[in-house]
């Protein structure tokens, strides 16, 4: 592994910037108000900032603004309602069940609305321990939550206004890096003794990853007016870079061959090894271009790749003269097609290198397609969508039921325990339970293991270091790391989150530290067990039930795509927009099918359907 490259990917990524932003947004209210002797208000404001940050997911700026404003209003309502019934166990239990169902159910409207629902559940759970004795105290608490959420929203928007193109560059760069990783996985087909099933499985996962990242870039580009302005050099260049990267990805995904035949015919030569090394070099080049786009600098075109392609062309010609036989004819044709694909990709890499320079003179010559709205999914908050999903046939409805029943069970159990932070049981259940069994199982394992390892790290740090200033600095570093990995590597995020929580409680009240560690471990364990049982027993949803629908959709879109391709080559009337739209739909449908199949393979064997076929 190239650790320097991995470090560059991390520090220039959106997720590291998000970690810095959330850490600043969460800590500053508490730090500033502590100087004025109001650490209590500061901590509540920090809680509001945490909740609103959960809804600040990548996307067009107008969607981020609307999402955060909705979060601020909703968390005020939830905080006030929870505070009013917090002293009445029965009413609080009913409220928990109702809120968990409602705010899980609204996930049917997409990731952003689902994130808003998560923010509401976070403020509900974290506000349970806040015992307000008067209505005035309840609303003081709720307004402090709103103040913290509003502060975070203003911080996030202010940072965006300084560098409005930054998030697009980071998302676009990450999508290009993902294409490079996809190609690197594909290169394994040329290795001797390759495990075809394992590589095909990895290829499916990488393909899903690329499609998800490209979908985000589409939203950022085609739903942002400031980017679509033709007079903007940066905006036009980013659009052209994305278009070129999509065309390149299409070239790689439409070139599968019978690799078994190639190995049977040519394993006794070094030609397949040469192809493997060249494809890995292309992957390296794509990752370098992605890093350059992600960091906002011009990439360097070393020209070595072009020389290697030319050298392989010459060696291939000699190879054909030496190994041309009736038995090897099919394999030689396949190698010729692969080499032609590599030549085409080499040209596209040169173009991507050029685009990374944001040439103002050339930008005006770029030809852009005007019908961008066709390539993005419109945001529709029609209430009928929610109504139509109020059935057990809906995965979202099943998930909402599981969350509601599991949290109710966790709350009832917490009433019989004498733990000081029993709300961690509910928090664990909420963050672990996902609509898909495989995702919930993975989250469960990562949450429990991460908490255990993180607790050991936290105890070690507090045993070694006594200086409170140093501990505060370490807590900030751990927070940045935890929030940076929250959306990408949850296990690492939890490993870093647990020690920063322990350090925080130690700084607030060191006399209760050992009790906090005990509560954290026990509550996480209880929440994990409840989540596991709920995932497996409470109206479970298995991927095999959805697989047929994904297959039908993928076949329909693929047929439509190939009809457009056929029409193009037979000189029939087909516009570039029709072709690219059919290509996008076919690739998205294939990614959905691949994702569903990958998730099914992680489910219990008895719940899989013909997975060995």
pLDDT digits (tens, 9 = 90+) for 253-293: 777 677 888 888 888 888 889 999 999 999 999 999 999 99
- Say if residue 304's pLDDT is above 90: no
Mean of the pLDDT values across residues 301-323?
Answer: 85
**Rounded distance, CA 82 to CA 130, Å?**
9
Q: Give me the architecture of the 164-367 domain, per CATH.
A: Up-down Bundle (1.20)
Mean of the pLDDT values across residues 140-157?
Answer: 94
The phi, psi pair for 421, rounded to 5°, reads -130, 50
Q: Domain segments of the chain: what residues? A: 1-162, 164-367, 396-541, 544-603
The pLDDT-based confidence of 570 (bands split at 50, 70, 90) is confident
Token pair 């609307």 is at which residue? 66
DSSP letter assigned to residue 539? S
Contacts 24+ apart (CB under 8 A), 455-462: 455/498, 455/499, 455/502, 455/517, 455/520, 455/521, 457/495, 457/498, 457/499, 458/498, 458/499, 458/500, 458/501, 458/502, 458/503, 458/517, 459/502, 459/517, 461/499, 461/503, 462/502, 462/503, 462/506, 462/513
Which ranges of 356-467 does DSSP label H, i.e. alpha helix?
A: 360-363, 383-388, 395-415, 423-432, 437-464
The pLDDT-based confidence of 375 (bands split at 50, 70, 90) is low
Residue 443: the pLDDT is: 84
**Rounded distance, CA 585 to CA 557, Å?**
6
- Say if residue 460's pLDDT is above 70: yes
- Say if residue 512's pLDDT is above 90: no
Q: Please tell me whether the overall predicted TM-score, pTM, comes out greater than 0.95 for this model.
A: no
At 55-98, the pLDDT tens digits run: 898 888 888 999 999 999 999 999 999 988 888 889 999 999 99
The phi, psi pair for 263, rounded to 5°, reads -70, -40
DSSP letter assigned to residue 298? P
**Minimal CA–CA distance to 205: which of 171, 182, 184?**
182
**Rounded distance, CA 148 to CA 127, Å?**
14
**Rounded distance, CA 264 to CA 276, Å?**
16
Token pair 């019989």 is at which residue? 416
For residues 352 and 282, the answer to whether their CB atoms sit within 8 Å is: no
173: Cα within 13 Å, side-chain hemisphere: 27
DSSP letter assigned to residue 540? -
Token pair 């963050």 is at which residue? 431
What b/e sequence results for 115-139 when a residue is b if at least 16 CB atoms lie within 10 Å of its CB, and e otherwise?
A: bbbbbbbbbbbbbbebebeeeeebb
- Say if residue 119's pLDDT is above 70: yes
- Say if residue 612's pLDDT is above 60: no
**Residue of 32 and 375 predicted with greater confidence:** 32
Contacts 24+ apart (CB under 8 A), 354-357: 355/237, 355/240, 355/241, 355/244, 356/241, 356/289, 356/292, 356/293, 356/297, 356/298, 356/299, 357/298
**Other beta carbons within 10 Å of 175:** 27
Q: Structure tokens of 176?
A: 């290009």
Task: List Cβ neighbours of 593 (8 Å cut-off, separation of 6 or more).
Answer: 547, 550, 551, 553, 554
Angle formed at CA 192 by CA 188 and CA 193, multiple of 5 degrees? 95
**Residue of 20 and 537 predicted with greater confidence:** 20
For residues 185 and 199, the answer to whether their CB atoms sit within 8 Å is: yes
Residue 516: the pLDDT is: 77
**Minimal CA–CA distance to 584: which of 217, 335, 66, 314?**
217
- Say if residue 497's pLDDT is above 70: yes
Q: What percent of the chain has pLDDT over 90?
A: 31
**Rounded distance, CA 510 to CA 116, Å?**
34
Residue 198: the pLDDT is: 87
Provide the mean pLDDT of the chain. Answer: 85
- Say if residue 613's pLDDT is above 50: no
Mean of the pLDDT values across residues 94-114?
Answer: 91
Residue 441: the pLDDT is: 82
**Residue of 527 and 578 predicted with greater confidence:** 527
- Say if residue 594's pLDDT is above 90: no
Mean of the pLDDT values across residues 109-135?
Answer: 86
């Amino acid at each position: 592994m190239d650790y320097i490259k991995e470090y560059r990917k991390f520090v220039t990524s959106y997720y590291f910037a998000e970690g810095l932003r959330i850490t600043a947004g969460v800590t500053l209210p508490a730090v500033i108000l502590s100087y004025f002797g109001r650490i209590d208000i500061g901590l509540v404001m920090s809680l509001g900032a945490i909740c609103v940050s959960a809804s600040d997911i990548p996307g067009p700026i107008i969607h981020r603004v609307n999402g955060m404003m909705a979060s601020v209003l909703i968390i005020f309502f939830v905080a006030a309602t929870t505070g009013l019934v917090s002293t009445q166990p029965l009413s609080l239990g009913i409220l928990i069940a109702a809120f968990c169902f409602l705010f899980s159910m609204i996930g049917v409207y997409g990731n952003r609305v689902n994130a808003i629902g998560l923010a509401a559940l976070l403020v509900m759970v974290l506000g349970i321990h806040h015992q307000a004795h008067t209505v005035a105290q309840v609303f003081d608490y709720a307004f402090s939550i709103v103040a913290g959420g509003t502060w975070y929203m203003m911080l996030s928007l202010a940072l965006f206004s300084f560098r409005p193109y930054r998030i697009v560059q980071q998302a676009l760069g990450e999508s290009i890096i993902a294409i490079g990783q996809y190609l690197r996985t594909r290169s394994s087909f040329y290795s001797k003794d390759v495990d075809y099933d394992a590589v095909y499985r990895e290829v499916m996962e990488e393909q899903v990853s690329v499609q998800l990242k490209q979908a985000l870039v589409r939203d950022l580009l085609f739903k942002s007016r400031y980017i679509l302005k033709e007079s903007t050099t940066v905006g036009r260049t980013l659009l052209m870079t994305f278009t070129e990267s999509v065309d390149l990805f299409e070239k790689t995904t439409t070139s599968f061959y019978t690799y078994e035949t190639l190995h049977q015919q040519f394993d006794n030569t070094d030609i397949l090894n040469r192809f493997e090394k060249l494809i890995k070099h292309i992957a390296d080049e794509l990752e370098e271009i992605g890093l350059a786009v992600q960091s906002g600098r011009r990439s360097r075109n070393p020209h070595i790749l072009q020389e290697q392609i030319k050298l392989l062309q010459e060696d291939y010609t000699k190879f054909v003269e030496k190994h041309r036989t009736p038995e090897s004819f099919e394999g030689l044709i396949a190698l010729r097609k692969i080499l032609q694909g590599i030549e085409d990709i080499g040209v596209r890499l040169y173009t991507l290198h050029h685009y990374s320079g944001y040439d103002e003179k050339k930008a005006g010559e770029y030809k852009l397609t005007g019908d961008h709205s066709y390539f993005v999914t419109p945001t529709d908050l029609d209430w009928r969508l929610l109504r139509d999903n109020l059935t057990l046939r809906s995965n979202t409805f099943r998930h909402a039921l599981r969350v509601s029943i599991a949290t109710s069970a966790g709350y009832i159990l917490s009433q019989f325990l004498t733990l000081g932070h029993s709300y961690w049981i509910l928090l664990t259940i909420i963050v672990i339970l996902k609509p898909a069994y495989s995702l919930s199982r993975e989250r469960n394992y990562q949450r429990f293991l991460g908490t255990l390892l993180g607790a050991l790290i936290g105890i070690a740090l507090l045993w070694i270091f006594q200086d409170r200033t140093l501990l505060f600095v370490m807590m900030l570093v751990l927070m940045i790391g935890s929030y940076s990995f929250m959306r990408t590597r949850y296990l690492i995020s939890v490993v870093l989150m647990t020690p920063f929580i322990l350090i925080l409680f130690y700084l607030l009240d060191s006399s209760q530290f050992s009790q906090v560690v005990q509560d954290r471990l026990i509550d996480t364990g209880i929440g994990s067990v409840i989540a596991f049982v709920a995932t497996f027993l409470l109206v479970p949803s298995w991927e095999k039930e959805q697989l047929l629908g994904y297959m039908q959709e993928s076949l329909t879109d693929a047929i439509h795509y190939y009809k457009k391709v056929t029409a193009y080559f037979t000189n029939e009337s087909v516009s570039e927009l029709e072709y690219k739209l059919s290509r996008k739909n076919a690739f998205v449908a294939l990614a959905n099918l691949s994702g569903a199949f990958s998730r099914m393979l992680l489910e219990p064997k008895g719940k899989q359907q013909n997975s060995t076929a």
